[in-house]
Amino acid sequence: MSHIKTARSLRIMCNIPIFCWISATVLQQILTQSDTEIPKTLTEMYCHFLITQTSIKNEKYGESYDRDPEKLLESNRTVLLKLAKLAFKQLMMWNVMFYEEDLRESGIDLTEASVYSGICTEIFREECVLYQRKVYSFVHLSFQEFLAALYVFHCYLIKNNKALEVFNPWFIRWTENVPLDKLLCVAVDKVLKSQNGHLDLFFRFLLGISLESGQKILQGLLIHTESSSESINRTVQHIKESMENEYLPNDRSVNLSLCLTEVKDQHLPRKIQEFLKS
């Protein structure tokens, strides 16, 4: 509890029961490990939750158990990236529930979906009085948003620009080497234009995964890591400029401030302190 209270981005999320469960699941594991840094941001918490659930899955089904997170993620990379692809594709269509054919389109075998029950839970919904169809969803929308952000960063690393073109405002094909800050900046603009803020949390996760600290946790799942500090700095500057727009709705401004918190920028806390002192 004392750790949660010191991390603003985590404390804000504690009004969501599922987040409390995720936090408890992660901290129960990490607090017994002297060599693992305790998560301080939302992205770090969800990264460790993914590792924890993958470890539980390996133990449950008698697969090779490895305490090394990098090797654990590497051995499960194929299926996890398929789930991430499903999460991204369905999020872009505003879908939180999907069917067997949606899983197959992302290359997911139905057996794989049931095995990863901690991540992708099978639920049933009666659609008419004559029959039932199997309906699938992730444990929570926030985790779908996390996996969707993971897929986008993965596509950036492997230069899969076709998947990234959804963020291109002019739908012009990008060159092969798209700078990370260009991707993140156009993502900011798309998030600001999204209805009902349905991409807010997705973008926070994308920023968090892009950080070198986020990439480090996900080693084994990502094909490689790269230096991103300059790109993050340019993106942060773009976010601050967007926040200065006097016509920006309050909820959009709040989300952008939380994005700054996710990349451990102290702009907002400093502004608050300056205001209080004045």
Across the chain, which has 278 residues, the per-10-residue mean pLDDT values are 80 86 90 83 94 87 73 92 95 90 89 81 60 81 95 93 79 74 91 84 95 94 90 93 85 86 77 71
Query: H helices then E strands: how many in the chain?
Result: 16, 2
Q: Are 45 and 10 in contact (CB under 8 A)?
A: yes
* C-alpha to C-alpha distance for 14 and 208, rounded to whole angstroms: 19
Strands 120-126 and 132-138: antiparallel
Predicted TM-score of the model (pTM): 0.90
**Which residues, including other chains, have CB under 8 Å from residue 123's CB and lie 6 or more apart?**
97, 135, 136, 137
Residues contacting residue 189 through CB under 8 Å, at least 6 positions apart: 169, 242
What's the Cα-to-Cα distance from 215 to each of 55, 245, 248, rounded to whole Å? 19, 31, 31
For residues 258 and 150, what is the distance between their CA atoms, to the nearest angstrom? 19
In a domain, 19, yes or no: yes
Query: Does any domain span residue 128?
Result: no
Query: Does 129 reside within a domain?
Result: no
What ranges make up the beta strands (E) of 106-228? 120-126, 132-138
- Looking at residue 67, what is its pLDDT? 73
Domains: count for the chain: 1
Q: What is the pLDDT of residue 249?
A: 83
Identify the pLDDT of residue 130.
46
Evaluate whether residue 275 is within a structural domain. Answer: no
Instruction: Confirm if 174 and 165 have CB atoms less than 8 A apart.
Output: yes
pLDDT score, position 63: 65
> What pLDDT was estimated at residue 257?
85
pLDDT given at position 203: 95
What pLDDT is stored for residue 128 in this prediction?
54
In sequence order, the β-bridge partners of residue 136 are 98, 122
Provide the pLDDT for residue 119. Answer: 83
Look up the domain containing 173 and give its range.
2-122+138-270
